[in-house]
């Protein structure tokens, strides 16, 4: 049996970017992805690149590297990733104080501009001015996350990487076993299984402080309506939920087979892609069962009702409801590195803004394995939660 330098589990944005970068520094890599047709978080992502959002020296440096890398990747990977600059509009609910909300962003690398509802509507004519107290805006960037992932994957294969459609059932020291009983040997194993990372590690006898939300969006058919910006709430409820549901005291509740840790939330937002489809979202639920059944009809109605207040003409567009899992960590920062007491088993997951942070961190991680020690990677060790 061939022993690979690295086995990477999961073929979303994290797994493909990491596989590509590992192959670029000379490692033999096997990427294992369970699904032939992606139904993952990357598939349903808005694809926003918040390169303005870094608040610490490290995240600000990564923001600068992330946007530079996104600009460079279409050439390097020889593919169109639909990268573009696109204004972001962060809406402020009627009952909130715009100044208080603006203060939440005061540490960001690039300052945001506060605007009144009328100015917000000049930027985004589909917006209902009576639904907001104001907005914040900043120059943002956008990528088609699915195209970027396919581009990383194709470049990885061209570089000699191997990939197979296999569901990994269990991980042991130096190998992984599939649900069909095959074994694959790797000197190092990286878990990039997104929202399923937690359960995969648990099945392998490893506890890790990595969590997931159930996310739900509506994908519309192509439309002649034109959304000029990415619209999202300035105060995302999802981040609050994630922080509370991963606090130390709550952590053990994740091991309950089927429970709802917090009431769900909807963060009304919208983005339009080059093919004129839109994604309207986003429901977030904290259900400990990754396979929990969700009432799709009810959920779609509730998303449409919220969108209808903010962006009325979008609420009735024909579309389909979709569900996926999104990984997160307690402090919203990625988890990169070995897991406690598990030498050669790495986690590369939990990115809250992967479109800006994954490209530079995958590259830094790979180069740190063959060169000098990276000063940023150790800050994201999963062992910071131990
Ligand atoms: C509606 C929505 C909007 C978003 N907007 C943004 C945004 O604007 N900007 C941004 O940066 N991020 C955004 N995100 C978040 C971002 O899309 C995700 O964090 C990111 O795509 C996650 O990538 P991943 O590789 O960790 O997980 P995934 O894309 O979920 O990939 C994990 C893969 O692992 C595979 N897998 C799991 N278990 C196994 C196993 N046992 N064996 C083999 N394979 C396995 C799965 O099949 C899956 O393909 C958004 C997410 C959603 C849902």
Shared domain check, 150 and 65:
yes
Shared domain check, 295 and 184:
no
Shared domain check, 349 and 317:
no
What per-residue confidence (pLDDT) applies to 382?
Answer: 95
What per-residue confidence (pLDDT) applies to 343?
Answer: 86
DSSP classification of residue 383 = G
Tell me the CATH number at 342. Answer: 3.50.50.60
Nearest CA to ligand 1 atom 35: 10
Burial of 302 (0-12, 13-18, 19+ CB in 10 A): middle
Shared domain check, 167 and 122:
no
Tally of structural domains, the chain:
2
Specify which residues 326 forms β-bridges with: 213
The alpha carbon of 351 and the centre of ligand 1 are apart by a number of angstroms equal to 9
Shared domain check, 287 and 156:
no
Shared domain check, 287 and 352:
no
Tell me the percentage of the chain whose pLDDT exceeds 90. Answer: 94
Tell me the CATH number at 136. Answer: 3.30.9.10
DSSP classification of residue 36 = S
For residues 45-71, give the mean pLDDT.
98
Give how far the C-alpha of residue 320 lies from the chain's centroid of Cα atoms, to the nearest Å.
21
Nearest atom, ligand 1, residue 282 CA: 1
Q: Which domain holds residue 169?
A: 3-80+144-209+331-385
Nearest to 241 by CA among 332, 350, 323, 357: 332
Structure-token match 């990477």, residue found: 8
* Residues 191, 189: Cα–Cα separation, whole Å: 7
The alpha carbon of 79 and the centre of ligand 1 are apart by a number of angstroms equal to 21
Shared domain check, 168 and 54:
yes
Asked if 351 and 195 touch (Cβ cutoff 8 Å), the reply is no
Judge if the beta carbon of residue 349 lies within 6 A of ligand 1. Answer: yes
The alpha carbon of 194 and the centre of ligand 1 are apart by a number of angstroms equal to 5
342 pLDDT more than 90: no
Shared domain check, 344 and 266:
no
Judge if the beta carbon of residue 98 lies within 6 A of ligand 1. Answer: no
Handedness of CA 254, 379, 53, 348 (dihedral sign): negative
Q: Count how many residues are written for the chain.
A: 386
Determine the residue of 193, 198, 227, 355 to mutate for testing ligand 1's pocket, defined as the one with the most ligand atoms within 8 A of the Cβ atom: 193
* Residues 124, 118: Cα–Cα separation, whole Å: 10
Domain boundary among 288, 310, 328: 328
Asked if 14 and 355 touch (Cβ cutoff 8 Å), the reply is no
What the block records as the tokens of 113 is 């501009």
What per-residue confidence (pLDDT) applies to 239?
Answer: 92
Judge if the beta carbon of residue 196 lies within 6 A of ligand 1. Answer: yes
Asked if 335 and 350 touch (Cβ cutoff 8 Å), the reply is yes
386 pLDDT more than 90: no
The alpha carbon of 325 and the centre of ligand 1 are apart by a number of angstroms equal to 7
- For 259-304, write each residue's pLDDT tens digit: 999 999 999 999 999 999 999 999 999 999 999 999 999 999 999 9
What are the backbone dihedrals phi and psi of residue 281, each rounded to the nearest 5 degrees, phi first? Answer: -155, -160
What the block records as the tokens of 155 is 């470049």
- For 79-102, write each residue's pLDDT tens digit: 999 999 999 999 999 999 999 999
Shared domain check, 244 and 102:
yes
- For 26-40, write each residue's pLDDT tens digit: 999 999 999 999 999
What the block records as the tokens of 6 is 């690295």
Nearest atom, ligand 1, residue 166 CA: 43
Is the preceding peptide bond at 325 cis, omega within 30 degrees of 0? no
Asked if 378 and 368 touch (Cβ cutoff 8 Å), the reply is no
Domain boundary among 328, 356, 375: 328
Judge if the beta carbon of residue 192 lies within 6 A of ligand 1. Answer: yes
- For 224-245, write each residue's pLDDT tens digit: 999 999 999 999 999 999 999 9
pTM of the model: 0.97
Shared domain check, 363 and 346:
yes
What per-residue confidence (pLDDT) applies to 194?
Answer: 98
Shared domain check, 248 and 356:
no
Domain boundary among 328, 348, 366: 328
Determine the residue of 35, 40, 88 to mutate for testing ligand 1's pocket, defined as the one with the most ligand atoms within 8 A of the Cβ atom: 40
Q: What is the mean pLDDT of the chain?
A: 96
- For 130-162, write each residue's pLDDT tens digit: 999 999 999 999 999 999 999 999 999 999 999
Shared domain check, 296 and 216:
yes
């Amino acid at each position: 049996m061939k022993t690979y330098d690295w086995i990477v589990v999961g073929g979303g944005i994290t797994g493909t970017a990491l596989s590509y970068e590992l192959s670029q520094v000379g490692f033999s890599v096997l990427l294992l992805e369970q699904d032939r047709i992606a139904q993952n978080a990357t598939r349903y992502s808005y694809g926003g690149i918040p390169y303005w959002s870094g608040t610490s020296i490290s995240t600000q440096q990564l923001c600068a590297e992330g946007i530079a890398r996104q600009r460079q990747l279409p050439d390097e990977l020889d593919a169109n990733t639909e990268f573009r600059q696109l204004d972001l509009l962060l809406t402020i609910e009627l009952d909130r104080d715009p100044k208080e909300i603006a203060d939440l962003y005061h540490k960001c690398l690039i300052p945001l501009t506060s605007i009144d509802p009328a100015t917000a509507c000049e930027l985004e004519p589909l917006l209902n001015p009576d639904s907001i107290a104001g907005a914040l805006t900043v120059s943002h960037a956008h990528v088609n996350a699915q195209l970027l992932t396919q581009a990383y994957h194709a470049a990885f294969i061209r570089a000699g990487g191997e990939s197979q459609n296999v569901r990994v059932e269990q991980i042991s020291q130096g190998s992984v076993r599939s649900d069909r009983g095959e074994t694959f040997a790797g000197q190092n194993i990286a878990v990039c299984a997104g929202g399923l990372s937690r359960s995969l590690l648990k099945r392998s006898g490893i506890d890790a402080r990595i969590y997931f939300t159930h996310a739900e969006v509506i994908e519309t058919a192509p439309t002649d309506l034109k959304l000029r910006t990415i619209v999202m709430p300035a105060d995302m409820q999802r981040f609050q939920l994630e922080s509370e549901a991963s606090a130390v005291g709550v952590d053990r509740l994740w091991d309950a087979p089927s429970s709802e840790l917090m009431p769900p939330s909807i963060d009304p937002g919208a983005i339009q892609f080059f093919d004129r489809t839109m994604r309207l979202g986003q429901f977030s639920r904290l259900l400990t069962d990754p396979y929990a059944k969700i009432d799709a009809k009810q959920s779609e109605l509730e998303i449409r009702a919220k969108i209808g207040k903010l962006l009325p003409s979008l609420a009735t567009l024909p579309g389909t409801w979709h569900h996926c899992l999104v990984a997160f960590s307690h402090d919203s920062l990625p988890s990169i590195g070995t897991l406690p007491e598990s030498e050669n088993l790495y986690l590369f997951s939990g990115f809250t803004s992967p479109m800006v942070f994954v490209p530079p961190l995958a590259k830094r991680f790979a180069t740190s394995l063959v060169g000098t020690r990276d000063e940023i990677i150790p800050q994201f060790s999963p062992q910071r939660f131990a």
